[in-house]
């Protein structure tokens, strides 16, 4: 084909048909430009096709992650709810008049003293951000998942900081005599029981425990509120992604 064009150019030049040669040259340039445009169009189509396939893959991964996030949050909320129930029962124990110190201490020990960090395990959003693939998603989805990821990070940090404060109060409780929560270990050791100054330690220990458990339950309620809000956001994002996958 190239030889054919060269032959035509040579023939036109030899015949001094300048105007025809220029017309031919322009036509050849147009053909080349059209060829380039077609090649670019095909390349762009292939690139767009690849991005669409990758985007759908990410959408499905996001759906899986969002469902996993909700399941994790619900388990955490259930665990915290159980702790709140134990605390409410402890508070109700004071409705009984004239509790002995031994009964009060035993009631204190019915509370859940464990603290749990909030740690989401899903990583698709972080992968999208770190790889730069976030840009292949629609702007609306980029906005909602970025905001959602920020909310997850904030609740993780908040829970960790609050738990550190709670654990400091728990350490203070231990220093005040938290060991006496195991009062049932001492009835057969009257001399040790006396040396521990049980009666003198009780007021400070109760105050320390109340400070700990009240703050802990305030933290738990905050966590439930924030996790419930995040779960609602996850639900809305799931619906947006499902609509996108149907296009």
Report pTM: 0.74
pLDDT of residue 39: 60
pLDDT of residue 30: 66
Distance CA(93)–CA(104), nearest Å, equals 8
Distance CA(201)–CA(180), nearest Å, equals 9
Distance CA(48)–CA(66), nearest Å, equals 26
Cα R_g (the chain), whole angstroms: 36
pLDDT tens for each residue of 75-103: 999 999 999 999 999 999 999 999 887 78
pLDDT tens for each residue of 111-148: 887 888 899 999 999 999 999 999 999 999 999 999 99
Distances (CA, A) of 20 to 4, 53, 212, 246: 16, 49, 96, 55
Which parts of the chain have pLDDT scores under 50?
Answer: 1-5, 8-9, 12-13, 17, 21
């Amino acid at each position: 084909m190239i030889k054919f064009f060269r032959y035509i150019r040579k023939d036109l030049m030899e015949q001094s048909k300048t105007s025809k040669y220029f017309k031919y040259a322009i036509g050849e340039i147009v053909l080349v430009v059209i060829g380039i445009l077609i090649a670019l169009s095909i390349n762009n189509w292939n690139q767009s096709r690849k991005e669409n396939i990758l985007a759908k893959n990410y959408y499905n991964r996001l759906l899986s992650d969002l469902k996993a996030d909700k399941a994790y949050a619900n388990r955490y909320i259930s665990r915290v709810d159980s702790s709140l129930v134990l605390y409410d029962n402890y508070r109700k124990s004071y409705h009984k008049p004239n509790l002995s110190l031994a009964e009060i201490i035993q009631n204190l020990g019915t509370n859940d003293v464990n603290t749990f960090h909030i740690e989401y395990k899903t990583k698709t959003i972080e992968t999208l951000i770190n790889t730069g693939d976030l840009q292949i998603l629609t702007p609306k989805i980029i906005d909602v998942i970025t905001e959602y990821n920020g909310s997850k990070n904030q609740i993780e940090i908040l829970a960790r900081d609050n738990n550190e404060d709670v654990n400091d109060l728990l350490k203070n409780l231990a220093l005040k005599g938290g060991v006496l929560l195991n009062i049932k270990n001492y009835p057969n050791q009257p001399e040790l029981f006396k040396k521990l100054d049980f009666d003198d330690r009780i007021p400070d220990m109760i105050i320390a425990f109340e400070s700990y458990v009240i703050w802990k339950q305030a933290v738990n309620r905050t966590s439930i509120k924030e996790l419930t809000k995040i779960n609602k956001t996850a639900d809305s994002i799931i619906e947006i992604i499902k609509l996108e996958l149907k296009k």
